[in-house]
Amino acid sequence: MGIEATITTFDSSTIRDQYKTGEQQLAVRSYFWSNADIVDWFFGADRLGYPNVSMFNDPKAEELRAKAMAGSATQAERVKNFTAYHQYVTSQFPYAPIYQPEQNMAYNKDRIVMPDVIHGTSITGTVMLDVSVKE
């Protein structure tokens, strides 16, 4: 594309401070959330600076967000409301959601026994694995 970029990696506390300055031209964020309410997390006006690093603050988006978060009586309504919220935010703000469901995990099969099936959407701090030391 002809863009010269300097990629910088920060620790968690430093990157939060950097986001709040608004000086960055692009931020790449990763997350392991498979639910539509991640839009609320990244674009809610009550979270300006972090995690809403875009500083997106739009009255119509906030109205749609409130309806999606608290105004849904059924799961079908929730999906409909979050779809409307997501579509509106996408139409107003240049961002590209990249969903990466695949994960790779390496382990030494001579030292650790892993379960055949891992019941979890991702291997993170919230997934408990029944692993044991191989005798």
Could you list the mean pLDDT of each consecutive 10-residue stretch along the chain, which spans 135 residues?
74 78 71 69 84 86 93 90 89 67 68 72 54 69
**Count, residues in the chain:** 135
Please count the other Cβ atoms lying within 10 Å of the Cβ belonging to residue 93: 13
Using the structure block, give the residue that is written with the tokens 């790779």.
Answer: 104
Name 39's Cβ contacts closer than 8 Å, sequence gap at least 6: 65, 68, 82, 85, 86, 89
Structure tokens, 3: 């863009």
Q: Please report the pLDDT score of residue 99 as a whole number.
A: 59
Q: Helices 59-70 and 75-92: crossing angle, nearest 10°?
A: 160
Q: Which amino acid is at 74?
A: T
pTM: 0.56
Q: Please report the pLDDT score of residue 97 as a whole number.
A: 61
Q: How far is CA 118 from CA 98, 124, 128, in A?
A: 23, 12, 9
